[in-house]
């Protein structure tokens, strides 16, 4: 059975380009309820840990550099079938391949700077949410 929560980050490129409002509007208009949210900046150690599954990939260094270069918005979102529905809303990792109307099609500039993160499984949604939020920060 699929879960009802996912985790997202509006990445430094989206924040720098003034897209926080536009992206949050799309998320809530698509039926997601924000149950936790913070404006924060990842340290190098945070980003290395968060993306440790990618540490052997050639883009890992650039990914850590990018994700730490400015503030992000982190949030936990609630909706039936949250992980799958949110991944459909954000579109393909590479914005050039993202469907029309998706968040990455609208706001991302490249595969590396792709505006928004969405958990890829219920298990990772729980791990990633717990990385950023304590129980008392989730409403």
User: Which part of the chain contacts ligand CMP (CB under 6 A), choosing from 16-24, 29-37, 77-85, 112-120?
Assistant: 112-120
117 as an active site residue: the answer is yes
DSSP bridge pairs for 36: 76
Near ligand CMP by CB under 6 A, which window of 40-48, 72-80, 108-116, 126-134? 108-116
41 class by beta-carbon count within 10 Å (0-12 exposed, 13-18 middle, 19+ buried): middle
Give CA–CA dist 35/32, Å, rounded.
9
Residue with tokens 């980050």: 9
Q: Residue 36 or 113: which CB sits closer to ligand CMP?
A: 113
Nearer to ligand CMP, 37 or 108 (CB): 108
């Amino acid at each position: 059975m699929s879960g009802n929560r996912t985790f997202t980050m509006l990445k430094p490129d989206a924040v720098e380009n003034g897209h926080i409002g536009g992206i949050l509007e799309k998320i809530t208009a698509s039926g997601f309820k924000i149950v936790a949210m913070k404006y924060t900046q990842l340290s190098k150690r945070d980003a290395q840990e968060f993306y440790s599954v990618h540490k052997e990939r050639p883009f890992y260094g650039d990914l850590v550099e990018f994700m730490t270069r400015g503030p992000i918005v982190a949030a936990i979102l609630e909706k039936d079938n949250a992980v799958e529905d949110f991944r459909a809303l954000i579109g393909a990792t590479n914005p050039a391949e993202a469907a029309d109307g998706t968040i990455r099609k609208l706001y991302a500039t490249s595969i590396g700077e792709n505006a928004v993160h969405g958990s890829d499984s219920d298990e990772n949604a729980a791990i990633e949410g717990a990385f950023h939020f304590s129980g008392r920060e989730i409403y």
